[in-house]
Amino acid sequence: MDEAVGIMGGTFDPVHFGHLVAAEEARLRFGLARVVFVPNGRPPHKKDYRVTAAERRYEMAFLATAGNPGFETSRIELDREGPSYAVDTVAAFRRRFGARARLYFITGADAMLEYTTWREPQQLAGMCEFIAAMRPGYDARHLADALGEDLMERCRVLRIPGVDISSTELRRRAASGESLRYFTPPAVAQYIKQHRLYADPDAGGLAAG
Ligand code: ATP
Ligand code: MG
């Protein structure tokens, strides 16, 4: 059978158990051979705060996924110039895995609701299908309204055990010196501490990509 691959895109600033649960549930429920985490090089849509250097976000995703043989982490968006668009990333995965592979772009429902603002949404939908994980507070009916019938046909809704965790909340906790235990894997919590990420505005160092 042709390989089925999940592509989990995100800023991952930092990666947390919400991302990992969504990816693992997608992997198991859709029989994906693997899920590739793809940290954005330069997220086109995050403008309200200073995003941590891509290399640091990549390393955290790498640490978080290392223990799962069904997961991998890709540098593809780090090594590409310019803003990171899903359409370019999926095109690259299409080249890597071949025309017959089944590609699924995995997102949370909040991200999927904004799908029509993504770059070249129709072209992207022609190259992959979508798995929208129902994050707490989101409703599949809103998704059908936002996407319309044709796009909704390309989108599978995935119910996951709700993990109401966000990177925003982790950054807030880290900044105020609160524990990240049980919010993200120990190696990631350790990395954040060691590099003093989120502790103060200049500590992330390597200028936001
Ligand atoms: P931020 O708070 O900075 O927006 P985030 O927690 O939303 O961060 P992102 O890197 O923006 O994390 O999200 C990457 C992808 O993971 C998106 O598709 C998002 O919808 C999904 N996602 C994030 N958190 C969860 C969660 N708790 N449950 C399910 N999906 C999630
Ligand atoms: Mg988000």
pLDDT greater than 60 at residue 208: no
* Residue 56 vs residues 3, 60, 62, 114, 137: alpha-carbon distances, Å: 30, 6, 10, 26, 30
Please state the rounded mean pLDDT for residues 27-46. 91
Contact 118, 85 (CB under 8 A): yes
* pLDDT of amino acid 82: 84
Q: What is the average pLDDT across 165-170?
A: 96
CATH of region 4-165: 3.40.50.620
Cβ atoms 119, 85 nearer than 8 A: yes
Q: Is the pLDDT of residue 204 over 50?
A: no
* Banded model confidence at residue 91, pLDDT cuts 50, 70, 90: very high
> What are the structural domain ranges in the chain?
4-165
Q: 1 alpha carbon to ligand 1 midpoint, in Å?
A: 31
pLDDT averaged over every residue in the chain: 91
In this prediction, residue 139 has a pLDDT band, given cuts at 50, 70 and 90, of: confident
Predicted local confidence at residue 15, as pLDDT: 98
What percent of the chain stands above pLDDT 90?
79
Which atom of ligand 1 is nearest the CA belonging to 136? 28
Given this model, what pLDDT does residue 137 score? 77
Mean local confidence (pLDDT), 25-39: 98
Q: Read out DSSP for 140-187?
A: HHHHHHHHHHHHHHTEEEE--------HHHHHHHHHTT---BTTB-HH
| In the predicted structure, residue 205 carries a pLDDT above the cut 50 | no
Pocket test for ligand 1, best of 114, 166, 172, 182 (most atoms within 8 A of CB): 166
Q: Which of 138, 170, 161 is CA-nearest to residue 57?
A: 170
Query: What was the pLDDT predicted at 35?
Result: 98
Ligand 1 atom nearest residue 10's Cα:
14
